[in-house]
Amino acid sequence: MATPLPQPPVEPFLRLAQANVESLSEFWLSPDVMQQPLALVKRLFQPDAEPASAAPSVSSEAFARLLKALAENYTRFLSDLSQGGMVWWNEATRAVQEASDDVVDATEVVRRPRAAA
């Protein structure tokens, strides 16, 4: 019976997506970033306030934390992907070898001469 080929590893991609969502959520919900839209709204409704800028600046500390988290996420992803890829390659090689052995065994059975009756 033929052995099905193993599926490529999907877990590293799922972990990367989840880690990036968590990092971005942490960034957007940080107090530094959350204060900026509130300050912009306050300035819009105060007629005597200074004009609101179209693109408020993001705290460099919050942005640096986001970049560090994303770099860590991608480093972990590449490590997981390479390890999972090697495991997958070994399993796929073994499955192909088993399938070729099955084909060789099947052809040997067909080629064997029948015993004389």
User: Counting beta carbons within 10 angstroms of the beta carbon of residue 6, is it exposed (0 to 12), middle (13 to 18) or buried (19 or more)?
Assistant: middle
Residue 50's contacts (CB-CB under 8 Å, 6 or more residues apart) are 43
1-38 pLDDT per residue, tens:
455 655 667 888 999 999 999 999 999 998 888 888 77
If one counts the domains in the chain, the total is: 1
1 within domain boundaries? no
Residue 103: count of CB within 10 angstroms of its CB: 11
Q: Which pLDDT value is given to residue 7?
A: 61
Structural domain range at position 65: 11-111
2 within domain boundaries? no
3 within domain boundaries? no
Q: Which pLDDT value is given to residue 59?
A: 74
Q: Which pLDDT value is given to residue 67?
A: 94
33 vs 27, 36, 58, 109, 112, CA distance in Å? 7, 6, 6, 72, 77
6 within domain boundaries? no
66 within domain boundaries? yes
Residue 52 to residue 36: CA distance in whole angstroms? 11
Residue 78 has pLDDT above 60, yes or no: yes
Residue 114 has pLDDT above 70, yes or no: no
